[in-house]
Structure 1
Amino acid sequence: MTDRNPRAMSDNIKSLSFEDALSELEKIVRGLEGGQLKLEDAITAYERGAALRQHCEAKLSEAEARVQAIVQRSDGTLNMKPMD
């Protein structure tokens, strides 16, 4: 939790894959549940965790939209449906 600049934190999170963001979020949750963080560190961790959660939700929504865009034809072949 060294970078407290919200914009830099957001830019850093945007570059993470879903898996990396989820892994970091899990570590933050474990740290917060452990109750060993100083108050300011806990707040910073919570803020990063909230941003990571939002990032993961966005990645999942993107993946869901891509999957929904795949349409199976009656002959069994797959066709991409244009996304809105």
Structure 2
Amino acid sequence: MGTPVSATDLARNLGDYLARVRYRRESFVVEKNGKAVAQVVPADEVGAASMSAAFSAWDSAAPPDPSFAGDLERVAAADRPPEDPWAL
């Protein structure tokens, strides 16, 4: 998985950690308040999803709830600026 490192230590020594990742191929798990929040790994180890995999995931997703459109309309209506901004 990777060597744990605090977010503070990573920020203070970012150049050193990036060099270790690049040249030594090390991986780190960044922790904030004792919880893992991110990983720093060599870029070529990260597999990018292909477009076909992305479309397959999209096609297999559940359809949105019918009430979702109504929710969006209510949010859009509540977020409209006033007709005359100087009339406030």
TM-score, length basis structure 2: 0.26
**Structure with higher helix content:** 1
**Structure with higher strand content:** 2
Larger radius of gyration: 2
TM-score, length basis structure 1: 0.27
